[in-house]
Structure 1
Amino acid sequence: MKHPLQTIVAEIQKQERKLSAEASSFIDEAYRMTIYLQELLRTVKEDVLKEGFSSKAEEIHFFKLVKPNILGKLIYYNKVYRIETACPADNGNLHQCYFALQLRELKQEYKEHICNSDFYRYYRSGRTDRDENYYMLGNINYYDGLNSFVFEIDPQFSTYFDYKVAKILANELIYNYLTTKLSPELSPDVLLQNNDTKDIFWTQPKSALIELIYALHAADAVSHGKLGIRKISMVFQILFRVSLSDIHNSFHRMKTRAGSRTLFLDQLKYNLEEYMDKEDNG
């Protein structure tokens, strides 16, 4: 089958992990992912236009699953880039109001253009009886009163509804991104008021924790390597009630520091071996 879904998703996840470790900021990561996904979509389009599909099932698979996963991520990262580059401040009320407004606009778009449509209900129900109408080329029904965007698409590379699926996937990702920005329970500061966790805090330099996070990421030690640096970092920030806002820059400084580039990990190894020797001698 042309461009199996698992292969495409694995390629995208691999690039996300790579850029999560390399990018200097989330803005840089979003920009580079946008460029990568745009190129991936262009390459896939060239293959489709050149080779076509061997069967109806392959064509439906592509426009129902494969293309929307690429285009949905592209829409998401482009949106995140636009949101982040227009963000007025790093914290405070203005910062919160900005992301709250973005979330309200997303919900309004969902209510007006997505949730009440027949196609959305079809998609969410998992039905397949109209897949040939929705996910095969040349079946656009203008009597349905479609969005004017339909006149701009390439009819040789879109059924129109593949774009609809991509928008649904993108909106879900954007919603998760915005709620993470706004959700107070994800803020390390909130845990400062929790008596159950007040005695759990990080006592080494922040650079040591960043070194540990990158080591766990490099070893695929968390969720089989499927989580990016940001998510792993968030877990540790919440657990140890510490802010790591400059994690990417700190990591790049580690790569160029004199002497050992893994000072904390070296110290951990030494401390553990010393502890083991004491246990044996005790």
Structure 2
Amino acid sequence: MKSLNSIVSEIRLMEDKVSRETSGLIDEAYQMTLYLKELLHTAREYILREGFKDQTEEIEFFRDIKPQILGKLIYYNKVFRIETVCPVKDGKMYQKFFTSQLQVLKQEFKEQICGSHFYRYYRSGRTDRDQEYFMRGKINYRDGLKSYVFEIDHRFSTYYDSKAARIMANDLIYTYLISKINPEESRTSLLGDAESTKDIFWTDSKNALIELIYALYASGVISHGKIGIRKITLVFQVIFRIPLGDIHHSFHRMKERAGTRTAFLDHLRNSLEQYMDKGL
């Protein structure tokens, strides 16, 4: 069975590939939905055929690996459904539509996720009840679970792995809807008071920033590698108030550079070493 890092890396590479090759968000969400559905099916076939070597492997799969796949699948399917029924591309009706979608999401979060014992357990990073939550055949029906528990495939679900996936998907969908409703609100939430951060801006080339973004993305050092290149790029665009355009095209031009392909990262390393030497 593949490790969590391997699965996350595989999904990131596919997100990057699909984002480059598709014409818009609808097609991108559709292609990722198909890919993740097949990946989940492949994982299921493997588990039913091979099983787990021990409890640790089973817990890791249902706590981390399956929710990573299923959470992204729920997210992309939701984006596809929203985008395909969006009435217009701009204006008051557009704003009203996405605002209503956000209200639905908040209501679902309040009714289905927030306040549960499992939500607090999962968010706090606890592991003391992992054997109960993330091993098959451990469901406690005295907890008054949703009737969905009777519909799941108990050979490939612990019930709570789906809960974890929903929490992950909810975070992704929330960010997507906020960026649709009001990009300026995203900037405010990240930067706080605009007046106090107006002197923060990027002074090197756009290609240099794109090189840095891809390095952080490829290394998986942001949010354990669980967010895509689009979201990381959005954060940097917001922080430095700089539009980066088609970053994928720029990145592929970097790959074809003569000489070093990591000119900016090399510059950062040299600058840091020189700075360190000053203190000797």
Tell me whether the two structures share a fold, i.e. TM-score over 0.5: yes
The aligned residue for residue 60 of structure 2 is: 61
Paired position in structure 2 for 1:114 = 113
Q: Deviations over 1:157-189 (max 9, x none)?
A: 00000000000000010011111112341699x
Q: Which AA in structure 2 matches 1:7? A: S
Which amino acid letter does the alignment assign opposite residue 176 of structure 1?
Answer: T
**Change in CA separation of 1:128 and 1:185 when aligned onto 2, cut-off 3 Å:** same
- Which AA in structure 1 matches 2:82? I
Is the CA contact 1:153–1:160 (under 8 Å) kept in the aligned structure 2?
yes
TM-superposed CA distance for 1:239, in Å, is 3.8
1:251-271 CA distances to partner (integer Å, 9 max, x unpaired)? 7xxxxxxxxxx8xx9xxxxxx
Kindly indicate whether the alpha-carbon contact (under 8 Å) linking 1:21 and 1:229 is maintained by their aligned counterparts in 2: no
The aligned amino acid for 2:170 is: N
> Could you give the per-residue CA deviations for residues 229-280 of structure 1, whole angstroms, max 9, x where no partner exists?
58647866984679x7xx69xx7xxxxxxxxxx8xx9xxxxxxxxxxxxxxx
Unaligned runs of 5+ in 2: 188-193, 218-227, 257-280
The separation in 2 between residues aligned to 1:216 and 1:31, in whole angstroms, is: 32
1:204 alignment counterpart: none
Distance 1:82 1:51, change over 3 A: same
C-alpha change, 1:22 and 1:221, in structure 2 (3 Å) is farther
Structure 1 residues 56 and 161, CA, compared in 2 at 3 Å: closer, same or farther? same
Q: Measured at CA, do residues 225 and 28 of structure 1 come closer, stay the same or move farther in structure 2, by a change above 3 Å?
A: farther
Mapping of residues 93-104 of structure 1, within 5 Å: 93-104=92-103
Q: Distance in 2 between matches of 1:113 and 1:55?
A: 32
CA offsets, 1:60-119, max 9 Å, x none? 011000100000000000001001111111111110011111111111111111111111
Aligned sequence identity (%): 50
Q: Partner residue of 2:88? A: 89
Deviations 1:29-75 (A, max 9, x none): 00000000000011111110011011111100110001000000000
Alignment partner, residue 76 of structure 1: 75
Q: What are the equivalent positions in structure 2 for 1:131-280 lying under 5 Å apart?
A: 131-185=130-184, 220-224=211-215, 226=217, 228=229, 232=233, 239=241
Q: Distance in 1 between matches of 2:183 and 2:27?
A: 25
Most deviating of 175-184 and 27-36: 175-184
Q: Which amino acid aligns with 1:228?
A: I
Q: CA RMSD in A?
A: 3.3
1:274 maps to none
- What is the aligned partner in structure 2 of residue 46 from structure 1? 45
**Residues 213 and 232, structure 2, Cα contact 8 Å, conserved in 1:** no
TM-score for the superposition, normalised by structure 2: 0.72
Structure 2 CA distance for partners of 1:169 and 1:32, relative to 1, 3 Å: same
What amino acid is the match of 1:135? F
Q: Give the CA deviation at 1:125.
A: 1.8
Q: Contact 2:75 / 2:173 at 8 angstroms: preserved in 1?
A: yes
Q: 1:63 to 1:102 in 2, by over 3 A?
A: same
Say if 1:94 and 1:49 are closer, same or farther in 2 by CA, change over 3 A: same
